Each structure stands twice: as structure tokens, then as C-alpha cells.
Amino acid sequence: MTDSYRLTASQAQCKFKDGSLTVEEYAQSLLSRVKSRDEIVHAWAYLDPELVLQRARELDQVPAEKRGPLHGVAIGVKDVILTKDMPTQYNSPIYESHAPKMDAGSIAVLRANGALIFGKTTTTEFAATSVGPSHNGPKTANPHDPTRTPGGSSSGSGAAVGDLQVPIGLGTQTVGSTIRPGSFNGIYAMKPTWNSISREGQKLYSLIFDTLGLYARSVDDLKLLLDAFQLIDDEPVEDFHIKGSKFALLTLPTPEWPAPGAGTAAALQNGADLLRKQGAEVEEIVLSDEFRCMYKYHLQVLSGDGRIAFLPDYYGAKDKLHSSLVEHVENAENYTRKQQLKAFDELAAMRPKLDALADKYATIIAPSVIDEAPIGHANTGDAAFCAPWTAMHMPVVNIPGFKGENGLPIGLSLVSSRYRDQHLLRVCREVGKVFESQEGDI
């Protein structure tokens, strides 16, 4: 049982069902993994081993016929999401030891489905900054190379899943806070369609961008979560086959974004070649000029939403807020309300157009990150390539399988139109098999 921490959630569930593994044994294995790795990775903001084992024993006592579809699945929760039995501290000195006695909506759903809420994972301050430990950021390290960032703001969840400390983690995404750590840590990461999962009890930076993020090491595990959250497509379920399908390859969203680095550029080419060898058509596309200002508008809306989100903390403890959050509240960018409305409306007008483009293909393939995880922990990396799908409210999955010049993970994003999350997973299951079947070195 000592190596059961290596199991995905789906694999562990099979063993729970046949009686070859108990939830308590599984939890003990995961805790042993955490103990051996925590001094290196630092993925946890709060973890109580006794509470974990107590909850595991309770789950083992549930009769087989009453067990939920997530029975025993261990989940790390980003520390901006309320949990009734653990502190929620937002990596902010304002909320040190803060312990509300209620669950966020997402956590309530997971518990009702039998999940084992394992602990709270690290985050940047309020999931709203990109700075590292020298600026009150998490000291979490990339498990593949501890001298590098695991990404952020969902630093701990991405690192914990990538380091086999839990099979599933919850993050959040306002720009690129789920997909970027997914790529850096070499795991599957999903930002579902915006507002398809409850955000009640989740610290909001932006009402119209923030989305619960999902981490796992297999598509099957992501599907467990989508099913628990009752994400259902309108269209009937159909098997997906790569042969004969058509993909769009978006190597550079618009000239507004930076150019991809060598590792990402090679991954895009390699991924396209692999799909073509499987019989798919891969068409290179560029976004038209009408999408050119998407990122500019995204940041303008984010600034306006930040003025609202952090005003209470500004009044209560301005001296304890990161300077970037103070600047939001004080509107240091000097955006007018008219500019913010224009940005809001322009983004809304773009969404159905990009949906229509995506619906012409099985999925859009796009870069997840600029390149491998950067050296150092002072910054969690550039989120620009993740931003379009957050702004457009579209579901996106990071698929691992490639490596950069230093042998570190690089993933690619697959994107579909809004509320086609299950379709996207069916495509990702087949594409993931192809991408993960080879080394992917440049």
C-alpha cells in the first residue's frame, strides 16, 4: 500500500470498490508522500494529518450502496476557497488563522459526492498577484526543478498534483492561474466554461472572469469532477476519433501577445505533426484584427473589478495589502468608467464570434505558456497565452507530454466553445494519449 499515492483518483476508486485498498490506507500513503516531499515543494498552506485520517475512516464506514461517485478521492483545495473544517487565509496577513465555519459551494458539492478534502494549498495573495516569497507570495517550488516556479496563482494545487501528493487539486483562474501551473508541473489542468461551477464562497478578483480550476493526472479524473458538478453538453455524447477530424492550430493569438519561446514553439509543431500522423487535418489559423485588443480589454475589466473586490480590505488594512491591489482600489491606471464599459462590451461581442470559430474544428490547439517554468520564485510566470480563453469564457485544458530545452514540462492547450466541456474532454482523452506516448523533447 505504500506506493498507492501514485494512483490517479480513478485508479484508487477501482481499488476501493474491489476492497484491495481502503481510503484510510490511501490517505496514509499520500500523507507519507507529503512528509517526504514537503520540505522541498512547500505545496501546503494548511494540512492536518489527523483530520485527514479521521475523514478517511468515516468514508470507509459508508456502506457500498451509499458511496458517492467521488468516494475517497483526495482533493487539495486552493486557499482562497472556504472549507468549514480548515482555515482559509488567502495568503494574506489580514486573514492569518481565519477559519470560517462554512464550505464554498464547490466544496459542498464535492463532499456530497464523497470526496476527501485533504488540505489547503498555497496561493499568491488573494490569487491576485504574480509575485513570489519576497513579496508575501508562496514559497512553493516546482517539483521537477525546485529552483523554478510552479506557476501561480494556484501554485500549491499544481505542485501537489504534479508531485503525486494528491491526485486532484482545485485552483482558480482570472487570467492564467490554472493553465499555466498545469503546463509548468506537467499535469492536466482544466478551466471549465465560466460560471458553470458555483463560485459561492470563493474569493473573487473578477466577477466576470474568475472560474474554478481543476487539476488531475488523467482525463478520466477530470471527467469525475465535471460529472459531479453536473456539466452537461447540449449535444449527444459521441465517440471521438482523431483520424478524419480537423483541428485549428493557433500559434500566436494576436500580435498583442508575446512570441512563444523555443520549447513552446517546438511543442506546437510537434503536436501538430503527431496529430497529422494519426490522420487528422491541422489547419494553422490566426485571429482576425477584431480580436486584437482582447488582452488590453481583459486587463481593463480586471482593473475595474479589482477596485470593487479589494475595497473592503483596503479600508480595513491597507498597510497589509500588496501594492498592486492598493493600486487597483485607487485606480492607479486612471481608467474611466466609459473605458471600462467599452472593454466589457467589446469582450462580450467577441465571445459568440470565437465560439463560432471554435465550432468549425474538433478543438483549437494553442500554447499554454511562453516556455518552460522560469528560474526563481520571485515571479510565477507570464499568463498571456492563457488569457484569451478566460476572457472569452471558453473551456480549456492543458495537455502534458512535451519538454523544453532543459527537459522540463511544456503543455499545449485545447479549447472548445462555451458549454462544450464534455466534448472537450472526449477530444482531450484521445489527444492526450498521443501527446503522452512520446518524449516530446525539442
Clarify whether 342 is annotated catalytic: no
Q: pLDDT value at position 441?
A: 41
**CA dihedral over 71, 165, 120, 57, signed as positive or negative:** positive
Contact indicator for 103, 83 with CB cutoff of 8 Å: yes
d(CA 355, CA 51): 44
Q: For this structure, is 177 an active site residue?
A: yes
Q: Is 288 exposed, middle or buried (0-12, 13-18, 19+ CB in 10 A)?
A: exposed
* The one catalytic residue among 92, 106, 130, 153: 153
Residues 142-152: tens digit of each pLDDT: 999 999 999 99
- Express each pLDDT in 194-232 by its tens digit: 999 999 999 999 999 999 999 999 999 999 999 999 999
pLDDT of residue 132: 57
What confidence tens digit (pLDDT) does each residue in 241-264 have? 999 999 999 987 677 788 999 999
- Global confidence as pTM: 0.96
- Selecting among 15, 78, 203, 223, the annotated active-site residue is 78
Closest to 141 in 3D by CA, of 377, 433, 439? 377
| Catalytic residue (one of 4, 177, 303, 413) | 177
C-alpha cell at 44: 501546503
78 included as an active-site residue? yes
Residues of the chain with pLDDT below 50 are 134, 440-442
Distance CA(199)–CA(184), nearest Å, equals 25
